[in-house]
Structure 1
Amino acid sequence: MAAIQDRESEFQVIIIEPFYGGSHKTFVDTFACNLEENGTKYNIVTLPAKKWHWRARCSALQLYSKIEHVELKSKGLLWCSSVLNLAELLGLRPDFGKCRKIVYFHENQLIYPIQQIKKRDIQYALNEITTCLASDLVLFNSEFNRTSFLDNISKIIKMIPDNRPKNVRDIIEMKSRVMYFPVMFPKLVPTTATKPVVLQIVWPHRWEFDKDPNEFFEVMMELKKGNMDFRISVLGEQFTDVPQVFEQMKSDSDLKDRFTHFGYVESKDDYYKILRNSHVAVSTAKHEFFGVSMLEATYCGCLPLLPNRLVYPEIYPGGCLYNDRKELIGKLKAYCECPQKAVDDRQNLCIDFEKYSAEALSSKYLEILNE
């Protein structure tokens, strides 16, 4: 059931999130807190984070009956994520067309990896393109997200058999920009430094195909076959469709004795504690446009090891990146043999976390509202 949170009977901003979970939920909550502190009136309309594909196809229809009583004045602003087909919603609620409309892209479907070999369903990509055309401003959470979206528009348009629209990329590019995800970094608690004996590896991603958990666990198996000593914390949120590899690893695998934690951690304090007690955070993602969990892990003291692709080169120094499985295994073996080296390399790592902090970005988001 859709959830509607009212802040005053007359509001200035309506925030619509059809997939209210994970980083999408975190963003909405952080943005709403920013509006609250600024004294801006707002209204939040959400749907639970279930069945992403159905949300991407049907959320405008699902939300229509839930927001019949919601009014938005011409000076108001409609803010939504790209999961919503904005063009459809405006067709159902033409009165929303008079206000300013901003869409935020956490990810884009134009380069999404396909799980099964089949003819690509381009409807999700077309929905995102029409959403951009229906909006006044398009925000992406990274330059990689923005560029990969724009560069693949023509490829999608060419799949249309005839009467292809022209200048779509140019129109969208002119009203697009990058606004990094506002990360609420935790307050760091001073700890007594002790020399690590066993390397603690953390995998902090949501349990989905595009994060390539199979690759991660295969790398861990290679480390064990090489008689490396290490421990693993598998964190991250779970949604409807969980890859089978997680149950296989937990119940029947040679890695069972290596897990110090396996599963979602509800408490943020407990989650950050696990990150602070870990030495290396690993990503094997096929699909990443920002990566809140890896930034949080790095902020909490983990050395990040990430593929040399996707958004990662935009955020992390080259020394954190690997080009293939062999290179990742080589780096991890070196840290297993000397965990202190991982600690030292993390201490020497330079990342400007302020660029991504909610506190630093709050004023920039408010400026957008007043444009």
Structure 2
Amino acid sequence: MLFSLRAALAGCRRIFSSSGLMKDILIIEPFFGGSHGQLVKLLLSDHEIAHRAEILTLPAKKWHWRARTSALYFSQTIPSGKNYRYLFSSSVLNLAELIALRPDLAALKKIIYFHENQLIYPVRKRQDRDFQYGYNQILSSMVADSVIFNSEFNMESFLSSISSHLKLIPDHRPKGIDVMVRPKCRVLYFPISLPVCAKELQTISVKKERTDCDLPIDLNCVADVKEVNCEMNCTYSGQLCSGSSNCGEERKNIDFTSEKLSVAEIGGSLESSFEDSVDKNTLTLEKQENDEHKEHGLTRSKKPCHHSLVHIVWPHRWEHDKDPEAFFNALFSLTEEGLDFRVSVVGEAFSEVPDIFLRAKSHLQDKILNWGYQTREDYLCIIDEADVVVSTAQHEFFGVSMLEAVSRGCFPLCPKRLVYPEIYPDECLYSTQAQLVKRLKRFCSFPKSVRTDKFKGLAARFSWTCLQADYKNLFPVFENSPPS
């Protein structure tokens, strides 16, 4: 009888929670796209968090305006009178402004997540740096109860740059802010979640213990993967694979934009996918993005893969902070020496594309396999076929695309700076442009030297499987009293 009573009470608690009456986590994302959107989706892939969370987001457009004004917007859209205990947001939000505008939120445990920091963003000229963005992040870190960074490099570069950033103030400069903020800071690596297909499952021994993190890829797309039955690569988990048997089918995204969303109200468990709550406007988003990219001449080449030649992939945003000039100059050096190779230049382009891309497309025309924005499935096929993945970034705090490619068997070649020495061994790093060219020359001459799975397991410790418990611990359950 006692056992039955306990079971019944446990069932009541579950129903009570899923009914929306115990929503105690408020997740805010002013820039719901890229890694920002991916993190929110992965948090919601945990059933307990999903049943406890309400989400407010804005589309991943006009980043500068999101950083400037989203606090005011959310101050008007966050419902009053809710029993929230936690507030989780990326550092795009000016948390200090939000709390000033909504003092009723001050008692929540406020968690701010830094995907990047604006204090060391590379600018061509010092006067180009907008003081306000970094200043907003400093204020947010002061107001937050917990400050989470996606890497040690991100955390230390932020803390060590606070004083120099504040020295830009002409007079009456505050002091000791870094000392005040540091005790609240910790590193929680960004979790990556990669698709798994039936063919791969045949060769992977899945261990059930959460602490056993030696898997080469993550098996949790949305929940524990119980069945995967697909002949081709599953869709990328950034769009949350539903766990259904038809993993090759294109997934739809939720329209989180400017709406309060209770995950439990989406229409069943997350295992049944997010498709039931898709807004019609969202269904056109990918088409619109594809059309925008086509306007810039960014299309996929249909050329066959030349397996005898080394295939180099550069999967980054088409912006100057990723230093595309360094990458293309290295390739120009290879062609001048008569070396042959194939290249895929993929990634997201925006309204202003650096001129080097147009010049490179013309100069490397006969060597290009893929060029510009790709669907997720096409992207996975490309990195599966590629041999070397290269970064030339001047601004990188984690590098999701690099780890994705490495997990699919690409040899990583990264600059010996930023976050990369934290993640990759020395043999994957180069210090100078000349060293980058030298390594690529060798790869062109000996393609088999990079066709190895030696580094494939590097991504394992950053998988959602390994990190899910740590993220879940950000939101402990308190039965009767608010969090301290």
Q: TM-score scaled to structure 1, two decimals?
A: 0.90
Q: What is the CA–CA distance in structure 2 between the aligned matches of 1:207 and 1:70, rounded to whole Å?
A: 41
Letter in 2 for 1:57: R
Deviation track 1:338-362 (CA, whole Å, cap 9, x = no partner) reads 1001114xx3337543320011111
Relative to structure 1, the CA distance from residue 215 to residue 195 in structure 2 (aligned partners, 3 Å threshold; closer, same or farther) is closer
Q: What is the CA–CA distance in structure 1 between the aligned matches of 2:334 and 2:449, rounded to whole Å?
A: 17
Deviation track 1:302-338 (CA, whole Å, cap 9, x = no partner) reads 0000000000000000000000111001000101011
Which runs of structure 2 are paired with 1:1-371 in the superposition (5 Å)? 8=20, 10-34=22-46, 36-38=47-49, 40-67=51-78, 69=79, 71-73=81-83, 76-116=85-125, 118=127, 120-187=129-196, 189=199, 196-250=307-361, 253-266=362-375, 268-344=376-452, 347-349=453-455, 351-370=457-476
Letter in 1 for 2:182: E
Q: What is the CA–CA distance in structure 2 between the aligned matches of 1:94 and 1:85, rounded to whole Å?
A: 14
Q: What is the CA–CA distance in structure 2 between the aligned matches of 1:25 and 1:140, rounded to whole Å?
A: 16
Q: What is the CA–CA distance in structure 2 between the aligned matches of 1:321 and 1:218, rounded to whole Å?
A: 18
Identity %: 46
Letter in 2 for 1:83: V
Aligned to 2:233: none
Deviation track 1:144-199 (CA, whole Å, cap 9, x = no partner) reads 000000111111122223333232111110000000001002226459xx994110
Deviation track 1:17-45 (CA, whole Å, cap 9, x = no partner) reads 111111111111111212x3556411111
More displaced 10-residue stretch of structure 1: 158-167 or 272-281: 158-167
Q: What is the CA–CA distance in structure 1 between the aligned matches of 2:370 and 2:306, rounded to whole Å?
A: 21
Relative to structure 1, the CA distance from residue 14 to residue 328 in structure 2 (aligned partners, 3 Å threshold; closer, same or farther) is same
8 Å contact from structure 2 (residues 43, 49) kept in 1: no
Structure 1: which 5+ residue stretches go unaligned?
1-5
More displaced 10-residue stretch of structure 1: 104-113 or 42-51: 42-51
Would you tell me which structure has more strand in proportion to its own residues?
1
Shift of 1:7: 8.4
Letter in 2 for 1:246: F
Relative to structure 1, the CA distance from residue 207 to residue 9 in structure 2 (aligned partners, 3 Å threshold; closer, same or farther) is farther
Relative to structure 1, the CA distance from residue 175 to residue 7 in structure 2 (aligned partners, 3 Å threshold; closer, same or farther) is farther
- Root-mean-square deviation (Å): 2.3
Letter in 2 for 1:45: L
Relative to structure 1, the CA distance from residue 63 to residue 229 in structure 2 (aligned partners, 3 Å threshold; closer, same or farther) is same
Letter in 2 for 1:203: W
Q: What is the CA–CA distance in structure 2 between the aligned matches of 1:205 and 1:181, rounded to whole Å?
A: 17
Q: What is the CA–CA distance in structure 2 between the aligned matches of 1:121 and 1:322, rounded to whole Å?
A: 31
Letter in 1 for 2:325: N
Aligned to 2:277: none
**SS, match of residue 473 in structure 2:** helix
**SS, match of residue 95 in structure 1:** helix
Letter in 1 for 2:396: E
Shift of 1:70: 5.2
Q: What is the CA–CA distance in structure 1 between the aligned matches of 2:420 and 2:50, rounded to whole Å?
A: 36
